[in-house]
Amino acid sequence: MPQQAKIHYIEPVIQKKEGDYDPFIEATLQFENAADYLDLEPWIYQRLKYPERELIVHIPILLDNGTAETFTGFRVQHSTIRGPAKGGIRYSPDASLSECKALASWMTWKSAVINIPFGGSKGAVICDPTQMSENELKKLTKQYINAIRDIIGPYKDIPAPDMFTNSQTMAWIADAYTQNGQLEPAVVTGKPVFLGGSLGREDATGTGLFYMLREASKYLDFPLADKKVVVLGFGNVGSSIAKLVHKAGCKIIAVTDIYGGIQSKKGIDPFALKEHVGKNGSIVNFPETVPIDNEGLISLPCDILIPAAVEGQINKNNADDIKAKIILEGANGPTTVDADDILKEKETLVIPDILANAGGVMVSYLEWVQNLQRYFFSEEEVLDKTEKKMKQAFWEVIKIMKDYKVSMREAAYILAVGSVAKTLRVLGRN
Ligand code: NAD
C-alpha cells in the first residue's frame, strides 16, 4: 500500500523558484517523491540524494588557428553502490554541473530499474562541437580524459557516448586511458565494433525504446500500425527510434533538430531523412515538408510523442497542449515535474526515461562484460538479452504503477530507489 505521509526529515535545501529550470532540482524532486513512498530511513535518503563525487576540470588546448583556449569539463559520480559508476559524456555549450548531477542520478536509477550491476555517473565539456574540427575534438577528448583519469576505470566509472559524442570519441577515450601501450577496452563503452565495441550498440537506445513502445501498445491495447508519431531531436536516439516505428507501420509526421523542424501530413521517411542529414548536417529543407518549430511539434495532433534531444522541453507551458496518448522518453529528463502533474491528469502514458531509454546502458553493460572476458556475443544474443531485461522491467514497473496507483515514472522510481536502498541496507553502510 502507498505510504502517503510526508517525511519530515527532508531538509528544504532544494527549493524551486517560479520559472526556474534546474535539472538537478528536477531530479531531486523525482527522487524525493519516491523516497516519500518508500519511507526511506534518513541515512539512506541522505546518501542517495547527493552525488558521491563532483569533479570540475579546466582543459587548455591549442586550436587549429594557433590560439589557446581553456574548456571546462565535469565528471559526476552519483552512486557506486550497486557497481561501478556508468554514464555518458556530453559535449555542449549548455553543459553545466547541475545537468551532470541530474544526468548522473538518472543513470543510477536507470541501471537499477533494469537491474544491471552499475551505479550512475555523467560527464560533460562546455564547448560547441559543431564549431570544432575533428583535430580539436580529439585533443579536447584526450586532455579531458587525462584530467579525470584518476576517477575512471573498468571497475570505477565507465564513460559512454551521449550528445555530440560518438564511437570515434570513445576510441580516443580508450587510447587516452591506455598506459604502457596496453589497450584497456573495458574503460569505455560505445566503441567501434573492431575495437571491442558490442554489436547492436549503435542503435541500442532506439531499439530499447522500441521494445518499450511495443509493450506499451500491448498494455494499452493500442496497435502501432498507422499511428502518427512526432520526434523531437534526430541524432543517434531520435533517428534510430524513428526508423523502427516507421518499419512498424507508424507515420512520422514531424521531426525537429537543433537547427529547425519539418512537417509532412503524408509522412516522413526516416531512412531518406538520415541520408539528408548525412549530406546537409541537419533535417532542415528535407524535400516535400514544411517548417515547424519545437513548440509546434509538441502540440501537433498525434498519437506518440518522442522527445530525443535535451532536458526540460516538455514543461508546464506546453504540457496542456499535448495531444499524444503516449510519450516515449528517448531523451534524459525531457519532462519537468510540473508537466508530469499535468500529464497525469490528462492520463497520458509517459514511458519514463529511466526505463524507456535504458537500452543504451543495457548494451553498454554487455559491451563491458564482453571486454572483461575478451569473448564476444552475436548481435542476436545482444538483442535477445536486452529485450528480456527491458520487458521484465516494463512489467515490473506496470505492476508497481497499479499497486501504488501512481504514474509510470513514479513507479519506475519506486522500483529503482527501492532497489538501491535495499543494497545499502544489506551492505550495512549506515
Ligand atoms: P545526438 O547528439 O546524437 O542527437 C541529439 C539531437 O538532438 C540532434 O539531432 C540535435 O540537433 C537535437 N537537438 C539538440 N538540441 C535541440 C533542441 N534544443 N531542440 C531540438 N533538437 C535539439 O544525441 P543522442 O545520443 O541522440 O542523445 C539524445 C538524448 O538521448 C539525450 O538526452 C541523451 O542524454 C539521451 N540518451 C542517449 C543515449 C545514447 O545511447 N546516445 C542513451 C540514453 C539517453
User: Considering the chain, what percentage of its residues have pLDDT values greater than 70?
Assistant: 96
pLDDT at residue 7 greater than cutoff 50: no
Position in ligand 1 atom list of the atom nearest CA 164: 2
Amino acid 6: pLDDT: 40
pLDDT at residue 11 greater than cutoff 60: no
Closest C-alpha to ligand 1, atom 15: 258
Amino acid 166: pLDDT: 95
Query: Contact 288/267 with Cβ under 8 angstroms?
Result: no
The whole-chain average pLDDT of the chain stands at 95
CA distance 42 to 8: 10
User: What is the DSSP secondary-structure string of 19-84?
Assistant: T---HHHHHHHHHHHHHHHHT--HHHHHHHHS-SEEEEEEEEEE-TTS-EEEEEEEEEEEE-SSSS
Amino acid 374: pLDDT: 94
Quick check: CB of 331 below 6 Å from ligand 1? yes
Amino acid 181: pLDDT: 85
Mean pLDDT, rounded, for 48-67: 97
Architecture of domain 204-351 in this structure: 3-Layer(aba) Sandwich (3.40)
Gap from CA of 257 to ligand 1 centroid (Å):
9
Amino acid 1: pLDDT: 32
Amino acid 180: pLDDT: 79
- For the record, the C-alpha cell of 148 comes out as 579525470
Catalytic residue among 49, 86, 101, 122: 122
Which H or E element spans position 227?
A: none
State yes or no: is 323 an active-site residue: no
Which of 130, 170, 258, 364 has most ligand 1 atoms within 8 Å of its beta carbon, as the pocket-test mutant? Answer: 258
Please tell me the pTM assigned to this model. 0.94
- Confidence band (pLDDT; 50, 70, 90) for 21? confident
Q: pLDDT for 384-424, tens place per residue?
A: 999 999 999 999 999 999 999 999 999 999 999 999 999 99
- For the record, the C-alpha cell of 246 comes out as 516507421
Quick check: CB of 257 below 6 Å from ligand 1? yes
Q: Domain ranges for the chain, please list them.
A: 51-182, 204-351
- Confidence band (pLDDT; 50, 70, 90) for 3? very low
CA distance 161 to 201: 10
The span from the first CA to the last CA of the chain, in angstroms, equals: 26
Quick check: CB of 329 below 6 Å from ligand 1? no
Quick check: CB of 237 below 6 Å from ligand 1? yes
Gap from CA of 294 to ligand 1 centroid (Å):
14
User: Considering the chain, what percentage of its residues have pLDDT values greater than 90?
Assistant: 93
CA distance 136 to 131: 10
Q: pLDDT for 71-119, tens place per residue?
A: 999 999 999 999 999 999 999 999 999 999 999 999 999 999 999 999 9
Architecture of domain 51-182 in this structure: 3-Layer(aba) Sandwich (3.40)
Closest C-alpha to ligand 1, atom 28: 309
CA distance 126 to 133: 15
Position in ligand 1 atom list of the atom nearest CA 282: 11
Q: pLDDT for 349-370, tens place per residue?
A: 999 999 999 999 999 999 999 9
Gap from CA of 421 to ligand 1 centroid (Å):
30
Quick check: CB of 172 below 6 Å from ligand 1? no
Amino acid 20: pLDDT: 75
Q: pLDDT for 126-171, tens place per residue?
A: 999 999 999 999 999 999 999 999 999 999 999 999 999 999 999 9
Quick check: CB of 233 below 6 Å from ligand 1? yes
Pairing of strands 290-291, 260-263: antiparallel
